[in-house]
Structure 1
Amino acid sequence: MATTQHYLWASGHFLLLLASLRYILAWVTFKSVSAWWYKASFTGALISYAIVCNKSLGTPQPNIAYFRRALLDENVQYFLLAFFWWTSKPITITLLPYMIFSLFHALTFTRTTLMPQFLPPAPPATAGGAPQPHPFAKKLQVWIKSNYDTAMKVVAYTELVIFIRVTLGAITFQNSLISPIIYAHFLRQRYYQSAFTRDALAETSSRIDALVRKPGNPPVLLQVWDKVQMVTRRWAGVALTPNAGVPQNNEGR
């Protein structure tokens, strides 16, 4: 039986999904749109992630152990990032990762909680067995499972594009100078916690390396690229306790 808290968690994802869809559709069609929709999107994210963080970490405690555990929790990281975007000047692409997460959560909530209330269950698979989910619910479950990994890959690459966007934005004064610093730290955490992020970074780095090392390119280009790689490795290699092996609440992200 779904609790009030579970419905509130789901409402945050539905709000995020619908508001961000409204904002992005206006953006891609070059129509004006109120920043209210942008803030509403991340308000939904804050609602959902606050509930997940509270469930996974418990009541906040004023001690270093709790603080360290919270900072290494990926749901807390996405919550803090959502709060940062909520307080910042709108950058449309920042909505995409949250939209993808919310799409899968909204579909799962629809399948497991809403559909059973409106669609009759299918007959038991065996005599005396439990009723089976409605065929449409089964199809939805198959779609979610078959597309989840692809969606997470899209999220990983999108997050790299966001870093490029906020970095260029800082250089051209389109967003705050602190944005790329905060987002770089976020990506560093994702690198340790997400195989999808590691794969995306490895693939992107490999493609850039191949382009830079093409015959005929100026030697300075290779020198700059090697320097960037060296600085990145040193920065990313600073001691960090990975969150590997720590179970995450399946309502998060």
Structure 2
Amino acid sequence: MTLLPHSGLGAWAALPFFEQRLPQIEARLESEERPFLPPAPQVFAALERSQPDDVEVVILGQDPYPTPGHAHGFAFSAAADVRPLPRSLANIYKEMQADLGVCPDTADLRFLADQGVLLLNTVLSVPAGDAGGHRLLGWQDLTSQVLQRLSDRPRAYLLWGAQAQKAAAGVDPADNLKLASAHPSPLSARRGFFGSRPFSRTNVWLQANDRNAINWANQRGKL
């Protein structure tokens, strides 16, 4: 029995990471004295919900929210009943409101995954209360393989912050839409995230390439 269930990965299961690297990460997690987040069955939730051929947009996060009850396996997303909103997510909604005139009603972004938005953290676990505490486990190998798998056709990449931009350095801007800006955290959002209009710009690109726009707010009205 594996520590991190991943039977629902579908096509992602063919990535070498799951055979070559994951056992080492599981061994490290088994020796971890602190509880880690998200709960083990949700660690690969973003990949399970968004199969490779369905992905139109990639948003790369850093690592899961370290507050118990927040992280559920999707970058920047949290459980629907989380209040107040995590601070980075609150800034994302502020920018979305400025860009589109609407934003979601809750912290749960899983509706975006159902439209082809892969919400993937570059590190998939975190010790409770210790942001960045698992950044050296080797999760970045999975990110690299996911992005390589998605290089088969043009996609949109929303890269907020240096970590996401470094992870996606190999994504060809000639073939793909790469929107890079500061991270939406309170420490950096005013350094270029606010005013970057990533949501409307992504939709313009998608529609120009004969693809469906994303309903970013899960509401009727502006996309």
The normalised TM-score by structure 2 is 0.29
Higher strand share: 2
Higher helix share: 1
> Highest Rg: 1 or 2?
1
